[in-house]
Every structure is written in C-alpha cells, then in structure tokens.
Structure 1
Amino acid sequence: MSDVADAAKRLLLGRPVRSDRLGHTLLPKRIALPVFASDALSSVAYAPDEILLTLAIAGLGATLLSPWVGLAVVLVLVVVVTSYRQNVHAYPSGGGDYEVATVNLGPRAGVSVASALLVDYVLTVAVSISSGAQYAASAIPALRGHEVIVAVAVVLLLALINLRGVKESGTAFAIPTYLFMAALGAIAVVGAVRFFAGTLPLAETSELEVLAESGYEQGLMGLGGALLVLRAFASGSAALTGVEAISNGVPAFRKPKSRNAATTLLMLGCLSTFFIMSILLLARATEVHYVEFPAEQLLRDGVPVGEEYVQHPVIVQLSETVFAGMTPVIVFIAAVTGLILVLAANTAFNGFPVLGSILARDGFLPRQLHTRGDRLAFSNGILTLAAGAIVLIWAFDAQVTRLIQLYIVGVFVSFTLSQLGMVRHWNRELRTEHDARARVRMVRSRTINAIGLALTGTVLVVVLITKFTRGAWIAILAMAVVYALMQAIRRHYDAVHEELALGDDPAAARALPSRVHAIVLVSRLHKPTMRAIAYARASRPSVLEAVTVSVDPQDVEAMREQWERLELPVALKVLDSPFREITRPILGYVKSIRRESPRDLVVVYIPEYVVGHWWEHLLHNQSALRLKGRLLFTPGVVVASVPWQLESSVAAAAQLKGKP
C-alpha cells in the first residue's frame, strides 16, 4: 500500500530534489514576472469591471467618471510600486512588509501585517479562481451553475503544480501570462487605432439603458454620490493587490536579487498602468455597460432584460467590439483572460508559503510550515493555502462580487504599515548618515514613502468606510482571528522553550535517577516476550520483573507453570483484574512504584509485532498502543518498544532497502 502511495507521489510531484540544488530553482526576471506579478496583472481583468459596476449604481451618466477613477487608482499604484522598489533594496531577505513592520514598528505591528497578508493571499486565490471560473462559464455554457466545482478543481490543480517546485510552476505559467499581455495589448492598440480612424463601433450593451438604484435617481449628487465614487475607487484599488508579493519573493530571484526584483516591479507598474487606463478609456469610447444585477438594472426599450440575459465581462465586450467578426480572436482573448485569472492565484501560492515559513521560523506559526518538501517547495504552506481558498470559494459560491468586498482590506493594511515602517527606517538611517549625497538619496526615499503612507492610508480609510457593511468586516474579523492565533502559538512556543531550558545549573539536567525499575509486560510466553526480557536484562536495571494481568485464571496458571519449567531468571508478577481490564491495572502498578520511590526511573518494555500489511495493524498491537498512549502522561516513566518482525514484514523491509 505504501509503495503504491509512494509511486503515485513520485508520478504527481516528481523525484525528490537535493537540498544543494536550491540555487537552481532561482528565477530569472522573465520567469519571475509571471510568477510574482500575475496577480497584479490579472487584476486589470476585474478591477475596471468593479469600477464600472459600482458607478452604474447611479445610472448611465455616472459611468462617464470611470477614467478619472481609474486615474486615481493608477496614481496610488505608481506611488506604491515606487515605494516597494525601495523596500526590496532595504529588506531583501523575503520578509517583505512583515519584516519592515517588525523591525521599525515592533513585533505586534509585524504580526498585524502578517495576519493581513495571510488573509489577503487566501482571498487572492479565492477571487482569482472564482473570476476565472466565471470567464470559463461565459465561454462554455455547460459550465454555468457549476462554477464552484470548477473553481475547487482548479485550486487543487494549482496546488499540485506548485508542489512540484517554484521554478517548474513559473515555467508552466509564463506562456499564458505573456499571451494575456499580448491580448490586452492588441485590444488597446487596435482599439486606439480604430478610435482615431473613426471606425470603432459601439459595444453591444450600448443600446441598453442602465436603471439607477433607489436613492441614486439624481446621479452622483450629494454625499451619497461622493461615497459611491469613493466606493468605486476602493473597488478599483484591487488592481494593487499582488504588488507586495515581489518584496516577499526577493530570495527566489537570481542575483543580483534586489535589482532584479526592483526591475520586475517597474515592469509590473508600467504594464498595469497601461492596461487599466486602456480598458477604461475604450469602455467609455464604446459605451460598455456593466452592472451588478443585469436582469434588473439593464433595460431594453424600458423593459428589464430578464434572467435569460448573459452579461459578459468588460474585456470580453471590448474584444467583441474591437475585433467584431473575428470570432477566433475573440475566443482566444476570452480564453487567455480566464486562464490568467486562474494563474493569478499562483502569486499567492508563491507568497503565502514563503511568508508562512518566515513566521514559522519566528515562532508565530507551526514549525511544519518552515520545512521544505521533496521538491524544495514549502509544501505544508501550499496545502494550507489551498484548503483556506477552497473553504472561501464554497462559502461564497464562487461569486467575485461578494468575495471582492473582503479582498483589499488586508493588502492596504500591510501597505500602510509598511510605508510607515519605511519612513521610520529612513529617519533612523538619517541620524547616523553623514555623507551628503547619501542623505539626499535618503530624504528623497523618505518623501516617496511618506507620500505612499498618505495615499495608502487614505485608501484604507475609504475601503473601511465604503466596504465595511458589504463584507469587509469579515476580512477584518479573519485578520483578528489569525493575529490572535499567531500570538497564542508564539506564547506556546515561548512557554515550551522556557520549560525545557537547562537553566542556571546544566548539570542538574544530567542527574541520574537513584534506581531503574524495569518492567517487562507479558501477555504470553513466546519469542517476542523472550526478546523483551533479554533486552531488559542487557540494560542492567536495579530491579527487573515481568508483569502480566490476570484476565483468565486458567491462562495465568498455565503461564506460571511454563515460567517455572523454563526457569527464567526474572520474577513474574500477576496483577489482578476483576473487570478484565489490561491498561488500568498496569497503570496503577506503575504509579504505585513511582509513589513509593519518586526518584526511581520506571522503564516499561512492551513487545510489539512489526507487520507488513496495513490490515495487520488492525489485528495486532492494539493493547500496546493504548498502554503507550496512557504511559506517556505518567512522569518518570520510559516506554521501550521491543520489535518482533513477522514474516509479512520481511518483504516490506526488502523493498524499503531498495529505495533511494
């Protein structure tokens, strides 16, 4: 059974990779861009949708503001990218925002950032995969209504690919990412050429009317209109998610790591800016309409279009307009857009495990997350992320509009605290730097981070105000729970460390017990029992006795006679058990020895069968397992398992010897 599982594991994940091959997994910029920036790049596939969707609440006229809202988003994006280019030079270890906040603001701020990022990574996977599932349902009508199943299957597939290693997953995802860039570039360039040539047609949805929701019949007038614009800006700021992943992934870059990471950030910023503004400007030029509830909000000749109407995402509408009549091109764009939305989750599959490893190293998460798997990936972190994303997809029915309300809270918490930390970093550096040119550079860097702090802090406040009641409170609650959990884990590790420390007198830890009282447990006289007695005698204990429990008086009497006939040099003690129990009498006897001689060490030798088949475990060793489980909680007691290999284990042992 174990051989079948091992063969399946090798087939799915590949052969184990030696630790000294870690350097070969490092990424060049051409692979690092799709690995770490696919999340941010893919955001342009749904961030403009969310801007238009939110503004459409106030009716058709409000959507004319979409390019200006997009420009505000781009401004924040440019400042954040510029700030993070400084972060990767100042803190290249891979801790990213967590390290910046911990070093400059203290451990609590660092854990706050970490909790926000961990929640954001899980949401990244859930949102990206759900969005991709919706694109797939648009392209393949048979998938409609099955988006959740499709999304869960894709999460499992991505987890499997990432378990094979970072470089392998990056290579697999590079081509689709570059195809997506080419597709958006084609829409932007061809759309611009046709616009200036006067041949750009209107979108199919341009003929539909947009019904304003109750309370917004007058458009964007008053406080309500202002809050709606802010809400559109907050939703569009989802385009910034994923920027922080590069600062967390600096160790995965080839040398010079910081410079390559900064260059990748610059490419990401330029591409995202170009794509966001191109989509919003073309959407306005072609009069694309996109609403949250199309069956009710979209009207044809004054009548709602109804449930049978299928609303396509903005990029699909633009491709149908720009490349009207060119069905293969339209299908290609829809396919690569849906694919990049799925692959965008790969950014989280690279960021979450690395951050989890650093937090585990610092004692804030279970130590298992710090261990690399067979393929030098942080396997436990990958599996944890996949499980969290699947829970969210299932709970929110793979609906992007519902999930995105939770989405950007965490990332802007980390942005804001990171910018504040960098401002303090430059203040500290300026106090000790005397070189004039270096001081000018530091002042310039501090100014950039201060502007970043002001902008990201403003966005965070806007997000909290506009999205709190629409689901953002769930993300905040999740961050609080993760924060409390990490603090509890750290307290536990600190308490265990203090409890196990040698203290001021290391010699006390080496003090020997006054005596060793050895007990060999006997169920019947056979070869395993004789081996256990031999092992116990070889240890030369102060006291050695064999102990059995009287469940059947006839069996015990027969054992006594056989014991005396063999003239075994060990006394046999029989424990009475009127209720036919085995575990309780032995525990009581061991505890009585400890009470009489607290400084004695009691060693219990338990004969056990070594079996070769899984089903044999159900037939043997059950009493031994129960006893060991109970004796582990008894102070001053050591349990020694004495193995006896059955014939069925010989073949299994031979196969194990043949393994590398």
Structure 2
Amino acid sequence: MRSDRLGETLLPKKLALPIFASDALSSVAYAPDEIFLTLGLAGGFLALTHSWQIGLCVVAVMLVVVASYRQNVHAYPSGGGDYEVANTNLGPRAGLTVASALLVDYVLTVAVSISSGVQNAAAALPFIRGREVVVAVGLVVLLTAMNLRGVRESGKAFAIPVYAFMASVIGMGVVGLVREVTGTLPQAESAKLTLAPETGFESLGGFALMFLLLRAFSSGCAALTGVEAISNGVPAFKKPKSRNAATTLLMMGLVAITMLMSMLVLAKWTGIKYAENPAKQLLLDGKPVGDTYVQDTIMGQVSKAVFSGFRPGVIIVSIVAGLILVLAANTAFNGFPVLGSILAKDGYLPRQLHTRGDRLAFSNGILILAGAAAFLIILYDAEVTKLIQLYIVGVFVSFTLSQTGMIRHWNRHLRLERDPRARARMMRSRVINAIGATMSGLVLVVVLLTKFVHGAGYAIAAMVVLFFIMLRIHRHYERVREELRVLEDDSEAQLLPSRVHAIVLVSKIHKPTLRALAYARATRPNRLEAITVNVEPDETRALQEEWDRRRIPVPLKALDSPYREITRPVVEYVKSLRSGHPRDVVVVYIPEYVLGRWYEQVLHNQSALRLKGRLLFTPGVMVASVPWQLRSSEGVEERLDGPTAGSVRLGQ
C-alpha cells in the first residue's frame, strides 16, 4: 500500500472497539478464575462470600482508570500514551520506565490471552487437551500473519468474534438473572464438591486473611489490562481522533464492568468450587476427586449451569470465549509496534522498528512481539496460572506514572491559562487524574507485595534489563550523531584527497575483471594498478603471461601469501599505500558476479564479503563493487521487489 493511503487504514469506533478493547473485554474470561483460585486457597466458603466484593473493588478501580485515561487521550492525541505523558512531564527516565513496563506487558498479554483462549476452547474441543503449547504457538503465528496484512483488515476479521463474545456473555447474564429470579437456575457441577483449604491456609488470622484478600484483588485487577491500549493507539482512529478514542474507552469500560460482575454473581449463585490443585483440594464425600477430574474454567462451569438443557448455548460460549482470548492478543499486536515505533523515533530502540512495512503496518515490531510471546508460551507450557503471576505489574507501573504526569501537565497549563471556564475544566481533569494516580499507586503496592515472589519479580527484572538496554541504545545513537555532526568551522570534512590510488583485485581474466578495469580507468585516478594474491605459483605465472599477452594497459602486481590467505595480504598492502600519506585515498575495485538462485550460493566462496568487511574498518579506504549479473539473476529483482536479490561473489 502506498504511503498516501495511510488514511484508508484509520479506524471508525465500530472497528476500534474490537481491535483496542478486546484485551480488556477478554479478561472477563480469566479474571474471575484468578479471584476464585486465590480465595480457594482458604476453602470454598471464602470464594463464595467475598468474590463479588473483590469484583466491586476492581470495578471501582476500572471506573477511575477509564475516567483518567479519557483525560489522557484529549491531552495527548499523538499516540505516545503513557510513555509520552511520563516523558514530557516527568522526564526521560520516567518515560523509559513506562515504556519498558508496557513493552513487557504487551508480550505477556499475548502469552496469557492465547494460553487462556486455548484452555477455554478445550472445554468444547477436547482434542486440544495435551496439545496446548502447539496450538497456542500456531495461533501466535496466525495472528502475526493477519496483522502483517494491516490494521484495518485485521480489525474487520476480529470484529465479529468480539461482538459475539460480548453478546454471549451479556446474554448469559440476562438468562442467568431470569432463571435466578424464577428459581430455575441450577447449581454448577462442582457445587456438590467440598473445597478443602491448602496446607497452611486452614485457619487465617486477621492479617493473613487481609493479605489473601489483597492478593485476590491484585489477581482480579487483570481485568484492567488493555485500558491503556486506546491511549497508545489514538493515531489509528478516524477524525476527530481524541473524541472517538475517548468514546471507545468509555464503551469498553462499561461493557467490561457489566460482563465481569455478571460472571462473578453467576458464579456465586451457582455455587462454583474452583481450586488451584483440584485433584487434592476438591473432595467428594470426604475423598479427593483425583487426577481424573477435569476442572473447567469459571466461564465454562457457569455456561453449563445457565444453559443446562441447551447444549448449543454452552458450545457457543466456549468457542467465542476461546476466540476472544486469542484475539485479545491483537490489542498487543497493535500497541507494541506503535510504541516501539515511537521509541525508535526517539532513539531508544533500533531504527528498523520505526519503519512501516509494505502494508503500512510496523512489521518489525509485530515479528519481535510474536517471537517473545511464543518463547514465553513454550517456557511456561501455555499454563495461565503460571503466566498470570508475571502479569499486571507493568500495567500499574504505567498507570501510576502516567496519571502522576497528567497532574504535572495540568499544573503547567493552569499557570498559563486565564480563561475561567478553561481553568475549571483543567482543575476538574486534574482532580480525576489525582484520584487515578493515588488509586493506581496503591494497587501497584498491593500487586508488588502479594505477587512478587509468585512471579512478578521476573517481570520486574525484565523491565529493568529492557530499561538499561534502551538507555545504551540511546547513548549509542547520541554518540554516533555527535561524531557525524558537521561543525561550522569543520573544513577538514570538505577537503579533497591529495591523491587517489586505485586498485583492481584480480583472480583471473574474465568479463567481471575486464569490466572492473574499465570502470577504474574511467574514474581517472592518480595511480592505477591491478593486484592478485599468489596462492598457487603456477596459476599466478599463467595469469601474468595472459595479462602480458592481452597487453592490458594496467600493471599487475602479485602479493605473496605463504599461508594461502587472500584477505590479509590485500589489507596489509592497502594499509602500506597510505603509510605516511594520511590525505591519500585508496579505492579498491572488487569485480563480483551476481547469483540468482539460493542453492547456487553454496557452490561459491564468500571471499568478497570477507574482504569488504575488513576493508570497511581501514581508514582512508573506499570499496567499489563492480557487479556482473549472471543469467540466473535475471528477473530476480522483480520477484523479490528489491535490489538485494541474489548474492554477490568475488569474481573467481
């Protein structure tokens, strides 16, 4: 797609919602599980009595965060999101902290969402069990391919499953409410079981109980992941960008809250028992159910209870839940590349991440994200319970710093603004962001206290490593920029060389060699000579005789090589030419022929590549490649759509 067609890829709200909100909406499928798993450590009673209360606390945090981020998208519509806010208002180090946290969390979003999607789909598709890792990695590859096709096309593909998930969960909530009111809502299959507490959790004191509740709350805050994705993706919206992004953010928050609370309430009404170690914790008639017991997800158990007697309803919920969890990774596939592009533009990541591919997508960022997520899926065997422990911390690091930065943003503007109405609006926004910063900070502390030893420490370590890597990359770019900068009185960079000494490398007399000699003579250097390396004396003698017979008007010199090397004698000879003449320039002409077929590469050596690699590090030396295209290379440029088709070899 041409660059001037970028506007065609911009998203209306109906497509932006499934693209950017799928992560937050999909958390409904695993956030209740994590709440029940944590509370289930102390037995089944605690999960049924406190799960909905913890859900209300999560809802309160979500409302505050959504309200806070609506201020962000209006103040910073350029798409930097949390990174831009922190970088502008708190300084580059704070911005880099946010960026490292978000990049790590985007990778975890893909790993967690796809792993959870595979587990949910296994409830309706039993053949997946035991093959979760293979299926999950395959889905990562599929998502990567779809996103490489472009943002708008992936949005069209994902819209139907996301809306189907919203309709199925909300519809299940309505059916469950009606059946509860009419007294026809049955109990879940696990309701007849007894959930025994884990060892050490049999009797909890006040502090231990509070710590367990806080840990369940921090796990439930997985429902907030993805909220920041809209603020990072504002440039992808159609105009007016900020207003459309803010509206989409509000819609996402309200739908996510409705679905989360309906799931928690239905789980309470149906009496679900959910354990981290079901084979030992779940008891039937006082005896453990054993390894043969298959524990479905909370959503799977709720759907079987609500739609008892209506099997298609269970299948639909399981399938769309699996799909939405897989597609939730698409939020990261849109957020990670955009953030990587902004960081690359600022010099914190390699420049290649700033460039759009031929489909106007940030292809390099997409590929890096996919590779990192696939690695985590394989490392943790696609088990959500393990991966989820690494999750969340990065989100609340960015939440806290972003909202703190917004407070400073409003303070700075209030000092300059004199219009009473504008000041009132800014003060209202500052209050919202202050509440958001305070609440996000408190949740971050809770997450660190309750999840650090359970896996969050690894995520923090990854953020620290990434932070220092980006610092080093930035320093490298700054150092290169400083070395290459032309000063006002820098006359040395404009001086012409005193003499040009041209050298043509010769291995044998053939068409590439003759072309290189003709080109070198056409440049009219001060001195021109041809050199060959004397590896085989008989071949060198024959070459010299043919050279004289053809009366080539360029002197040929043979360099001795007792160890049969080619690169070192040439490099040492070139260096000797500049010895004592720092203003001289040596131009080395290398005749090469271009191969068109990949399997031909193994039949030829890499001497040209090695020689050029050494000469590039030699001061005052220029390297000129003189290519000769073989017939096999014809048409390769058109097939590969670029001038890098085939491979070049030293003409020997």
TM-score by length of 2: 0.96
User: How many residue pairs align between the two structures?
Assistant: 642
Q: Secondary structure at the match of 2:622?
A: strand
1:7 matched residue in structure 2:
none
Q: Write the distance in 2 (CA, Å) between the matches of 1:631 and 1:480.
A: 38
1:160 matched residue in structure 2:
145
Conserved? CA contact 1:216–1:225, under 8 Å: no
Q: Equivalences for 1:254-269 in 2 at 5 Å?
A: 254-269=238-253
- Given residue 79 of structure 1, which amino acid in structure 2 is its aligned partner? V
- Given residue 403 of structure 1, which amino acid in structure 2 is its aligned partner? L
Conserved? CA contact 2:121–2:321, under 8 Å: no
Gaps of 5+ in 2: 644-652
Q: Write the distance in 2 (CA, Å) between the matches of 1:596 and 1:535.
A: 28
- Given residue 381 of structure 1, which amino acid in structure 2 is its aligned partner? G
Aligned partner (choices 27, 41, 47) of residue 43 of structure 1: 27
Aligned partner (choices 555, 558, 566) of residue 539 of structure 2: 555
Q: Equivalences for 1:473-492 in 2 at 5 Å?
A: 473-492=457-476
1:4 matched residue in structure 2:
none
1:396 matched residue in structure 2:
380
Cα deviation 1:515-557 (Å, max 9, x = unaligned) = 0000111111222222111111111111111111122222222
Aligned partner (choices 133, 136, 139) of residue 118 of structure 2: 133
Please report how far the alpha carbon of residue 617 of structure 1 lies from its aligned counterpart in structure 2 after TM superposition.
2.8
1:10 matched residue in structure 2:
none
Q: Write the distance in 1 (CA, Å) between the matches of 2:634 and 2:436.
A: 66
Please report how far the alpha carbon of residue 614 of structure 1 lies from its aligned counterpart in structure 2 after TM superposition.
2.2
Cα deviation 1:179-226 (Å, max 9, x = unaligned) = 0001111111111111111221111111100101223223x5321111
Cα deviation 1:87-140 (Å, max 9, x = unaligned) = 000000000000000000000000000000000000000000000111122222
- Given residue 202 of structure 1, which amino acid in structure 2 is its aligned partner? Q
Please report how far the alpha carbon of residue 657 of structure 1 lies from its aligned counterpart in structure 2 after TM superposition.
9.5
Say whether residues 1:494 and 2:442 are aligned partners. no
Conserved? CA contact 1:537–1:544, under 8 Å: yes
2:259 matched residue in structure 1:
275
2:647 matched residue in structure 1:
none
Aligned partner (choices 10, 29, 38) of residue 54 of structure 1: 38
Q: Write the distance in 1 (CA, Å) between the matches of 2:486 and 2:361.
A: 34
1:207 matched residue in structure 2:
192
Q: Secondary structure at the match of 1:505?
A: coil
Say whether residues 1:590 and 2:571 are aligned partners. no
Gaps of 5+ in 1: 1-16
Say whether residues 1:71 and 2:56 are aligned partners. yes
Relative to structure 2, which stretch is displaced further, 118-127 or 315-324?
A: 315-324
- Given residue 134 of structure 2, which amino acid in structure 1 is its aligned partner? I
Q: Write the distance in 2 (CA, Å) between the matches of 1:651 and 1:436.
A: 68
Q: Write the distance in 1 (CA, Å) between the matches of 2:196 and 2:496.
A: 84
Q: Write the distance in 1 (CA, Å) between the matches of 2:118 and 2:7.
A: 36
Q: Write the distance in 1 (CA, Å) between the matches of 2:635 and 2:36.
A: 67
Aligned partner (choices 297, 300, 318) of residue 281 of structure 2: 297
Q: Write the distance in 2 (CA, Å) between the matches of 1:196 and 1:607.
A: 86
Q: Write the distance in 1 (CA, Å) between the matches of 2:420 and 2:508.
A: 87
Relative to structure 2, which stretch is displaced further, 54-63 or 35-44?
A: 54-63
Q: Equivalences for 1:569-584 in 2 at 5 Å?
A: 569-584=553-568
- Given residue 521 of structure 2, which amino acid in structure 1 is its aligned partner? R
Relative to structure 2, which stretch is displaced further, 120-129 or 49-58?
A: 49-58
Conserved? CA contact 1:83–1:419, under 8 Å: yes
Conserved? CA contact 2:124–2:315, under 8 Å: yes
Conserved? CA contact 1:101–1:113, under 8 Å: yes
Q: Secondary structure at the match of 2:65?
A: helix
Q: Secondary structure at the match of 2:418?
A: coil
Q: Write the distance in 2 (CA, Å) between the matches of 1:420 and 1:653.
A: 52
Conserved? CA contact 2:193–2:282, under 8 Å: yes
Q: Secondary structure at the match of 2:392?
A: helix
Q: Secondary structure at the match of 1:344?
A: helix
Cα deviation 1:226-262 (Å, max 9, x = unaligned) = 1000000000000000000000000000011000000
Conserved? CA contact 2:191–2:272, under 8 Å: yes
Conserved? CA contact 2:500–2:527, under 8 Å: yes
Q: Secondary structure at the match of 1:243?
A: coil
Please report how far the alpha carbon of residue 585 of structure 1 lies from its aligned counterpart in structure 2 after TM superposition.
1.2
Conserved? CA contact 1:608–1:621, under 8 Å: no
- Given residue 189 of structure 1, which amino acid in structure 2 is its aligned partner? V
Say whether residues 1:102 and 2:87 are aligned partners. yes
Please report how far the alpha carbon of residue 627 of structure 1 lies from its aligned counterpart in structure 2 after TM superposition.
1.2
Cα deviation 1:154-201 (Å, max 9, x = unaligned) = 001001000000000010000000000011111111111111112211
Q: Secondary structure at the match of 2:628?
A: strand
Q: Equivalences for 1:171-182 in 2 at 5 Å?
A: 171-182=156-167
- Given residue 107 of structure 1, which amino acid in structure 2 is its aligned partner? P
- Given residue 196 of structure 1, which amino acid in structure 2 is its aligned partner? V
Conserved? CA contact 2:123–2:300, under 8 Å: no
TM-score by length of 1: 0.95
Relative to structure 2, which stretch is displaced further, 587-596 or 402-411?
A: 587-596
Q: Write the distance in 2 (CA, Å) between the matches of 1:317 and 1:247.
A: 35
2:101 matched residue in structure 1:
116
Conserved? CA contact 1:601–1:636, under 8 Å: yes
Q: Secondary structure at the match of 2:579?
A: helix
Say whether residues 1:448 and 2:432 are aligned partners. yes
- Given residue 439 of structure 1, which amino acid in structure 2 is its aligned partner? R
Q: Percent identity?
A: 67
- Given residue 466 of structure 1, which amino acid in structure 2 is its aligned partner? T
Cα deviation 1:323-364 (Å, max 9, x = unaligned) = 111001111111101110111000000000000000000000
Aligned partner (choices 462, 481, 501) of residue 517 of structure 1: 501
Q: Write the distance in 1 (CA, Å) between the matches of 2:235 and 2:637.
A: 40
Please report how far the alpha carbon of residue 281 of structure 1 lies from its aligned counterpart in structure 2 after TM superposition.
1.1
Q: Write the distance in 1 (CA, Å) between the matches of 2:642 and 2:548.
A: 45
- Given residue 113 of structure 2, which amino acid in structure 1 is its aligned partner? S
Conserved? CA contact 1:611–1:649, under 8 Å: yes
Q: Quick one: structure 1 residues 367 and 656, their matched pair in 2 at CA, closer, same or farther if it must change by over 3 Å?
A: closer
Q: Secondary structure at the match of 1:643?
A: strand
Q: Secondary structure at the match of 2:469?
A: helix
Q: Quick one: structure 1 residues 446 and 652, their matched pair in 2 at CA, closer, same or farther if it must change by over 3 Å?
A: closer
Please report how far the alpha carbon of residue 443 of structure 1 lies from its aligned counterpart in structure 2 after TM superposition.
1.2
Aligned partner (choices 593, 596, 617) of residue 633 of structure 1: 617
Q: Secondary structure at the match of 2:180?
A: helix
Q: Write the distance in 1 (CA, Å) between the matches of 2:444 and 2:580.
A: 66
Q: Please tell me the root mean square deviation across aligned C-alpha atoms, in Å.
A: 1.5
1:31 matched residue in structure 2:
15
1:616 matched residue in structure 2:
600
Q: Quick one: structure 1 residues 266 and 525, their matched pair in 2 at CA, closer, same or farther if it must change by over 3 Å?
A: same
Please report how far the alpha carbon of residue 566 of structure 1 lies from its aligned counterpart in structure 2 after TM superposition.
2.3
Say whether residues 1:327 and 2:311 are aligned partners. yes
Conserved? CA contact 1:51–1:232, under 8 Å: yes
Say whether residues 1:285 and 2:269 are aligned partners. yes
- Given residue 479 of structure 1, which amino acid in structure 2 is its aligned partner? M
Please report how far the alpha carbon of residue 656 of structure 1 lies from its aligned counterpart in structure 2 after TM superposition.
7.4
Q: Write the distance in 2 (CA, Å) between the matches of 1:194 and 1:213.
A: 34
- Given residue 317 of structure 1, which amino acid in structure 2 is its aligned partner? Q
Conserved? CA contact 2:348–2:473, under 8 Å: yes
Please report how far the alpha carbon of residue 562 of structure 1 lies from its aligned counterpart in structure 2 after TM superposition.
2.2
Conserved? CA contact 1:608–1:644, under 8 Å: yes
Q: Secondary structure at the match of 1:548?
A: strand
Conserved? CA contact 2:52–2:261, under 8 Å: yes
Q: Secondary structure at the match of 2:524?
A: coil
Q: Write the distance in 2 (CA, Å) between the matches of 1:377 and 1:100.
A: 24
Q: Quick one: structure 1 residues 427 and 471, their matched pair in 2 at CA, closer, same or farther if it must change by over 3 Å?
A: same
Q: Write the distance in 1 (CA, Å) between the matches of 2:368 and 2:606.
A: 32
Q: Quick one: structure 1 residues 165 and 516, their matched pair in 2 at CA, closer, same or farther if it must change by over 3 Å?
A: same
Q: Secondary structure at the match of 1:75?
A: helix
Conserved? CA contact 1:85–1:262, under 8 Å: yes
